[in-house]
Amino acid sequence: MLTTLVLATQERARDIGIFAAIGWSTGRIMQSIVIEGMLICAIGCGVGVLLSILAAYGFPRIPTIGNLISFKPSAGLIVPVIGAAVMLCILGALLPAWRAVRMLPAEALRRM
């Protein structure tokens, strides 16, 4: 997720420069990037939980794998993992947000 946000921030450097030039505060720019990170986190967590549930019920049906791997998803396993993922997403979104607000508007507009 960190790589995705860093690349998205670099690709949108010109947009961020425009936002800064028209008067967006650093807090507002950081907030928009962190919100984007949280949306990516929510989608990733949702897809990850769905795939893990499908894998938990699909693996036992495969003859060679079913004997080796078995697990049952439960709220006691899923909730702490989602909580840790959200915390890492917040921390991971703050780095590109911090880098974006440190750019000067003129420097950001020159980047392509």
Average pLDDT over residues 30-38: 86
88 pLDDT above the threshold of 90:
no
Average pLDDT over residues 93-111: 78
14 pLDDT above the threshold of 90:
no
CA–CA dist 24, 53 (Å, integer): 42
6 pLDDT above the threshold of 90:
no
107 pLDDT above the threshold of 80:
no
What pLDDT is stored for residue 112 in this prediction? Answer: 53
